[in-house]
Chains A and B, each alone.
Chain A
Amino acid sequence: MRTARVIPCLDVDRGRVVKGTQFVELRDAGDPVELAARYDSEGADEIVFLDITASSEERDTMVEVVRRTAEQVFIPLTVGGGIRNLDDARRLLRAGADKVSVNTAAVERPELVGELAAELGAQCVVVAIDARRRVGEGGPGERLSWEVVTHGGRRPTGRDAVAWAAHCAATGAGELLVTSMDADGTGAGFDIELLRAVTEACSVPVIASGGVGDLDHLVAGVVDGGADAVLAATIFHFGRHSVAEAKEHLAALGVAVRPAPGAQEPVEQARG
């Protein structure tokens, strides 16, 4: 049985979750460790920490956050942001991360993906791809295409996102985290055509990211986009929906998921 994963993403700046949260029971809503534990208890299938700390001197803070999280949270933990080389990746894995996510460093030096996979195993290596739609002539029959961008979408790279995804999958990425920079922050839903193009071009698991505004968007990412996992930040952080609600909604619309702890398992069809 193929089951979709639901992955809350926490943006962490100097050891604190940013973007704000509204969990009233939490003593300290900005503590990534506490939030990760909360999401775990709600049935999150994995947790992603994205270190958005600007200065490299403060990266040790993230290692400490990972260490503290790994002592309490026993589901897979992916850490991205600022990972430039094998040593950076190793430090995070030693602290207790299960996977590392690379983005800009891989675009600048594509061999990095293979180097990480050879040392750490492909299952540890997530390549994050930020993609923006190319504006074409718009003629009928023109194929859609996307360009890889970095630095929060500010820097175009000239690379075709789908070709880059296929290249990463072929050279050692165990998984791809695909974010639409057009959709990100809009709440209007994933870029389904982007997801479809990437999932058709690559055999490794794809995490859909960018644009989730309601629970139907999660369903569309899996059903229409072909994604293996859906990642969201805002809808969970602001208390609009719990991870448990997300899973109930997916299950109700026919997407197989691991139920949240304490939730009723759907009755399985009798095997014929």
Chain B
Amino acid sequence: MSPDGRGRIVVLDYGIGNLRSAEKGLQHVDADARLATDPRDVAGAAGVVLPGVGAFGPCMAALRRTGLADAALGAINAGVPFLGICVGLQMLCTSSAETPGAAGLGVIDATVVPLPEGVKHPQMQWNKLVARSGPGQESGSRSRMLAGIPEGSWMYFVHSFAPEITGETVAVCDYGGTVCAAVERGVVWGTQFHPEKSGRPGLAVLANFRDLVEEQGTSVPRAS
């Protein structure tokens, strides 16, 4: 906890893409968020956000090169709340059809697959979330990430790939077929959409993450 009682959230900056939006969105919902470019910046964090744009392979390579891949895994293993956004979610998976042979972090037991055929790639538009109860959840139970967010809320997507749908998929959208939109595994959350660019419902997802961080109260141990 920081002196004012808020848990510090770090946004992993591994040198690819525009990460300011995620940081600004979190700050807008009063989270104590800042960018982390070095694994040492992650130590002590009470929440970790992994954004990502571009291609899976180059993002994974950059995450490993900066040492932030190990830092991310360290945080997840310590039970620290974790939010992956877009390619950040995809990197939590085991592998991606976009870059065959490149391993993901393997935290979420799913591979990343192309969007359905017959529709424009990328999906670059707003789309409606459809909540989904996986086999691991009781029928009708809502995800923690989507608490208070009305069914059918619109979110902004920019992607050509998405994780396959599994029991941990908590929301989907319809784009030439059913496409994974959000994944939740305990305190590890992932959104295929961009909550930081999705107006009010998107900011509500970030606020839910801020609340999770504050409730959880765990932080990343310092490397020994």
Contact = CB atoms under 8 A, between A and B. Distances in A.
A204 B197 CA distance: 20
A159 interface: no
Interface in A22-76: 40, 45, 70-71, 74-76
Interface string B115-128: 00001111011111
A120 B124 CA distance: 16
B122 to A, nearest CB: 7
**Which one of B18, B125, B174, B199 has the highest number of Cβ atoms from chain A below 10 Å of its Cβ?**
B18
Given A76-B197, A93-B18, A258 B53 contact: no
Contact of B122 (A70, A97, A174): A174
Given A1-B128, A76-B197, A261-B200, A94 B18 contact: yes
Given A95-B20, A121-B55, A45 B126 contact: yes
Q: Could you tell me the dominant secondary structure of chain B's interface residues?
A: mixed
Nearest to B156: A76
Contacts of A261: 199-200
Q: In the complex, which range does the number of interface residues on chain B fall in?
A: 20 to 34
A81 B174 CA distance: 35
B202 interface: yes
A174 B174 contact: no
* Interface size range of chain A in the complex: 20 to 34
B148 interface: no
Given A1-B174, A94-B18, A174 B124 contact: yes
A205 interface: yes
Nearest to A202: B120
Interface string A174-185: 110000000000
Contacts of A4: 125
B199 A74 contact: yes
Contacts of A94: 18, 20
Interface in A145-183: 174-175
B224 to A, nearest CB: 35
B20 A96 contact: yes
Contacts of B126: 3, 5, 45, 258
A98 interface: yes
Contacts of B198: 74-75
Nearest to B29: A74
10 contacts: A4-B125, A70-B21, A93-B17, A94-B18, A96-B24, A120-B18, A124-B17, A203-B120, A228-B120, A261-B199
Interface of A: 1-5, 40, 45, 70-71, 74-76, 93-98, 120-124, 174-175, 203-205, 228-229, 258-259, 261, 265
